[in-house]
Chain A
Amino acid sequence: MKKANYCVAIVFILLSGFVFFQVSGFQQTLIADDYVGAAFFPELLAWGTIVLAVLLGWLNFRNKFQEDSRSLSDLFPKEILTALEGLTVLCAYVLLLEPLGFILATIALNIALLLLFRVRSLITMAVFPVSISVIVYLVFCKVLVVPLPEGLFYF
């Protein structure tokens, strides 16, 4: 955990640095704001972030975070691979959403997730993905008239 805390502090310091860099490029628009300006608030926040991040690093150095001897590999065990695979499936789904249309893509997503979770029941595999996709589609598109992506076959 100690290493993780240092990482967090560094990430936030880098973030503030990025904010300062961006803010330096802010320009005047048609509307003048002579008092506070567009840059004031982000700059203030970036300063606040740096102070807090340094504080976090210092408290961490002084071992102020109790009961935590977890190492980085405890925080990120090899099981995170399942989560990463899930994320990959999800990203593929979003890419397919517009070309394939909501129903087909969602059936594919659910089958992929069930396979990933090693669900073996064929009945579940067949019934569940189709029913959830169709139910969600009907509730959103037909009952509530909220459009969902249409693909190849207009659904």
Chain B
Amino acid sequence: MLLLLWNGLCATFSFAIFPFLVIGVTGGIVIGALPGLTATMGVAVLLPFTFGMEATRALVMLCGIYIGAIYGGSISAILLKTPGTPAAAATVLDGYELARKGEAAKALSVSAIASFVGGMVSTVMLITISPVLASFALRFGAPEYFALAVFGLSIIASISGKSPVKGLLAGMFGLLISTVGLDPVTSYPRFTFGQINLYNGFAIIPVLIGLFALAEAFVQMERIFEKAQAIDTRFKHGMVSLKETISLLPLMIKSALIGTFIGAIPGAGADIAAFVTYNEARRSSKRGNEFGTGCIEGVAAPEAGNNGVTGGAMVPLLTLGVPGDAVTAILLGALIIQGLQPGPLLFTKNADIVYGLFSSLLVGNVLMLLFGLLGVRLFCRVVELPKRIIIPVIVTLSIVGAYSMNNSIFDVWVCIGFGIIGYIMQKVDMPSSPIILAVILGPMAESNLRRAVLMYQGSYSFLWTRPIGVVFLALAALSLYSSYRRAHS
């Protein structure tokens, strides 16, 4: 295996492959940083360009885009409070606060390092124990997914800021939003008012951009003529120190492992992993109360977690031929177009390609770290621009982002609507991230609960007879309990 990996590494650095990896990673970072262009969309759009390419080259480029985009989302999340991809929604919580304190460089460098650690750990896991992970992932049936979603939803209590009641209300609102559209079992159009654009419910991207980016733009507009800026605009150019990095390393590795695990489960992706790792970092941190006010752990954990998904999601793809998330679903198509059959046979029949892929994931993560750290100063310039220039940029990118996901003016209106909702919520001290978490997890919770009840012919016994599910439900209770304790300590 080491020999194969060495051969793969040699191939990766060859002239035939390396430029494509560089293009993929840089392109991915740009795509990720632009709101509305997600990793999924980037890979899907560039897929046809790879039809004519040689197999390894095509896969390397697509994987480069994947890891680059998952990292790139954090750049705009930290600097503009606009998560470039849903995976970066959790990074906003502390990343943007750090930027407001003048520590954007620190947040950006930690995000690059954490994404690197996440990507590396998960790639190593992919290389070493993917068959084990894959067979575990297959044990996830509807009851387990339901329990996982409940566990994810319990995180709402921990990201609710000052007033848990308002956070939970926001979560309920998010869950109600997630029920809009065709019912997951019977296809009955719920709360659609005859509007077919609502049949698939509210798309997550416009909601995300509205709640974060537009709402923030409105708040900033209000303050545009204020003479004395409340925010510290003196910019501290310091990146994170080596000492701090080392102290964050255990947290990053733990988050990366959680991310890998979540990525390996088909249907659970980087967005969920980011919130779960954020929650776990907060639960286990000594200064959990400071989360949400600009805590560097609050950037390190979700970023290691969401990039941890990249390797994890490849596990079921390569070993079972089943995609681990939306991006790997497209990669599956790319593999098949290249005449490769993902599954156990791939490792024996096309070992060179598989190990070429592994080694370019390793090298790609190094490149991502390099570009990320080199880019910090450049990215930081954004914060130094006057607000009167930044706001029009944010508004323009928000609208384009909301539109281009589904080429839909309707989505742009949704985005503006949620911009207004987010603005009012800021006014009344209501956190908006619970809505995002609920919109991501609500459909997963509902459809799997209903599937499970159908499977058990109307009985709810799966809630206590399925061991993995019981573990997640227990974790949910633990998560709620620890938020409760923190609120009352």
A and B touch in the complex (CB under 8 A): yes
Interface residues, chain A, with chain B CB atoms under 8 Å away: 1, 4-5, 7-8, 12, 15, 19, 22, 26-38, 41-42, 45-46, 48-49, 52-53, 55-56, 59, 65, 68, 75-77, 79-80, 82-83, 86-87, 90-91, 93-94, 97-98, 102, 106, 109-110, 113-114, 116-119, 124, 128-129, 132-133, 136, 139-140, 144-149
CA distance A49 to B176 in the complex (A): 9
| A and B contact pairs by CB, cutoff 8 A, 18 listed | A5-B428, A8-B428, A12-B173, A28-B188, A36-B453, A38-B183, A41-B179, A52-B172, A82-B225, A87-B218, A87-B420, A91-B416, A94-B399, A94-B413, A97-B403, A97-B412, A117-B391, A146-B41
Q: Could you tell me the distance in whole angstroms from the C-beta of A64 to the nearest C-beta in chain B?
A: 9
User: Across chains A and B, which 4 residue pairs bring their CB atoms closest together, nearest first?
Assistant: A38-B183, A117-B388, A83-B218, A113-B392
Which listed residue (A19, A53, A82) contacts B222, Cβ 8 A?
A82
| Interface residues as binary, B440-461 with A (CB distance below 8 Å gives 1, 0 otherwise) | 0000001001100110011000
Residues 408-442 of B at the A interface (beta carbon under 8 Å):
409, 412-413, 416, 419-420, 423, 427-430
Residues of A within 8 A of B188 (CB): 26-29, 38
Which listed residue (A7, A31, A56, A146) contacts B169, Cβ 8 A?
A56
Residues of A within 8 A of B420 (CB): 87
Task: Across the interface, name the chain A residue whose C-beta is closest to B428.
Answer: A4
Answer yes or no: B397 CB below 8 A from chain A CBs.
yes
* Residue pair A32, B172 in contact (C-beta under 8 Å): no
Answer yes or no: B351 CB below 8 A from chain A CBs.
no
A4-B428, A140-B400 given as contacts; is B224 within 8 A of A90 (CB)?
A: no
Task: Across the interface, name the chain B residue whose C-beta is closest to A56.
Answer: B165
Residues of B within 8 A of A48 (CB): 172
* Residue pair A90, B37 in contact (C-beta under 8 Å): no
Answer yes or no: B219 CB below 8 A from chain A CBs.
yes
Answer yes or no: B309 CB below 8 A from chain A CBs.
no
Which listed residue (A52, A82, A97, A147) contacts B168, Cβ 8 A?
A52
* Residue pair B166, A136 in contact (C-beta under 8 Å): no
Residues of B within 8 A of A144 (CB): 31, 37, 42, 45
Q: Could you tell me the distance in whole angstroms from the C-beta of A112 to the nearest C-beta in chain B?
A: 9
Q: Could you tell me the distance in whole angstroms from the C-beta of B141 to the nearest C-beta in chain A?
A: 17
CA distance A140 to B42 in the complex (A): 11
CA distance A139 to B27 in the complex (A): 11
Q: Is the interface of B mostly helix, strand, loop or mixed?
A: helix
| Interface residues as binary, B372-408 with A (CB distance below 8 Å gives 1, 0 otherwise) | 0000000000000000110111011101100110010
* Residue pair A35, B409 in contact (C-beta under 8 Å): no
Residues of B within 8 A of A35 (CB): 450, 453-454, 457-458
Residues of B within 8 A of A1 (CB): 428-429
Which listed residue (B165, B225, B388, B389) contacts A52, Cβ 8 A?
B165
CA distance A109 to B453 in the complex (A): 51
Q: Could you tell me the distance in whole angstroms from the C-beta of A26 to the nearest C-beta in chain B?
A: 6
Seed contacts A29-B187, A45-B176, A133-B396; 17 additional CB < 8 Å A-B pairs: A12-B169, A12-B172, A28-B186, A33-B454, A46-B176, A53-B169, A65-B163, A83-B222, A86-B221, A94-B413, A97-B399, A98-B409, A117-B388, A136-B396, A144-B37, A146-B37, A146-B45
Which listed residue (B31, B186, B395) contacts A109, Cβ 8 A?
B395
CA distance A144 to B401 in the complex (A): 13
Answer yes or no: B185 CB below 8 A from chain A CBs.
yes
Which listed residue (B393, B427, B458) contacts A4, Cβ 8 A?
B427
Residues of B within 8 A of A91 (CB): 416
Answer yes or no: B236 CB below 8 A from chain A CBs.
no
* Residue pair B166, A56 in contact (C-beta under 8 Å): yes
* Residue pair B392, A109 in contact (C-beta under 8 Å): yes
Answer yes or no: B191 CB below 8 A from chain A CBs.
yes
Which listed residue (A55, A79, A140, A149) contacts B165, Cβ 8 A?
A55
Answer yes or no: B237 CB below 8 A from chain A CBs.
no
Q: Could you tell me the distance in whole angstroms from the C-beta of A109 to the nearest C-beta in chain B?
A: 7
* Residue pair A109, B416 in contact (C-beta under 8 Å): no
Which listed residue (A29, A94, A110, A128) contacts B409, Cβ 8 A?
A94
CA distance A38 to B446 in the complex (A): 10
Residues of B within 8 A of A52 (CB): 165, 168-169, 172
Answer yes or no: B287 CB below 8 A from chain A CBs.
no
Answer yes or no: B59 CB below 8 A from chain A CBs.
no
Residues of B within 8 A of A133 (CB): 396
Residues of B within 8 A of A97 (CB): 399, 403, 409, 412
Residues of A within 8 A of B404 (CB): 140, 146-148
* Residue pair B217, A86 in contact (C-beta under 8 Å): yes
* Residue pair A42, B388 in contact (C-beta under 8 Å): no
Task: Across the interface, name the chain B residue whose C-beta is closest to A93.
Answer: B399
Task: Across the interface, name the chain A residue whose C-beta is closest to B220.
Answer: A83
Q: Could you tell me the distance in whole angstroms from the C-beta of A99 to the nearest C-beta in chain B?
A: 11
CA distance A15 to B191 in the complex (A): 12
A4-B428, A80-B222, A132-B393 given as contacts; is B190 within 8 A of A38 (CB)?
A: yes
Q: Could you tell me the distance in whole angstroms from the C-beta of B390 to the nearest C-beta in chain A?
A: 11
Q: Could you tell me the distance in whole angstroms from the C-beta of A105 to the nearest C-beta in chain B?
A: 10
CA distance A90 to B389 in the complex (A): 16
* Residue pair B396, A147 in contact (C-beta under 8 Å): no
* Residue pair B395, A90 in contact (C-beta under 8 Å): yes
Answer yes or no: B223 CB below 8 A from chain A CBs.
yes
Residues of A within 8 A of B258 (CB): none
Answer yes or no: B175 CB below 8 A from chain A CBs.
yes
CA distance A124 to B419 in the complex (A): 27
**Looking at B176, B187, B391, which has the most chain A CB atoms within 10 Å of its CB?**
B176
Q: Could you tell me the distance in whole angstroms from the C-beta of B58 to the nearest C-beta in chain A?
A: 17
Which listed residue (A33, A129, A132) contacts B450, Cβ 8 A?
A33
Residues of A within 8 A of B172 (CB): 12, 45, 48-49, 52
Task: Across the interface, name the chain B residue whose C-beta is closest to A79.
Answer: B222
Residues of B within 8 A of A79 (CB): 222-223, 225
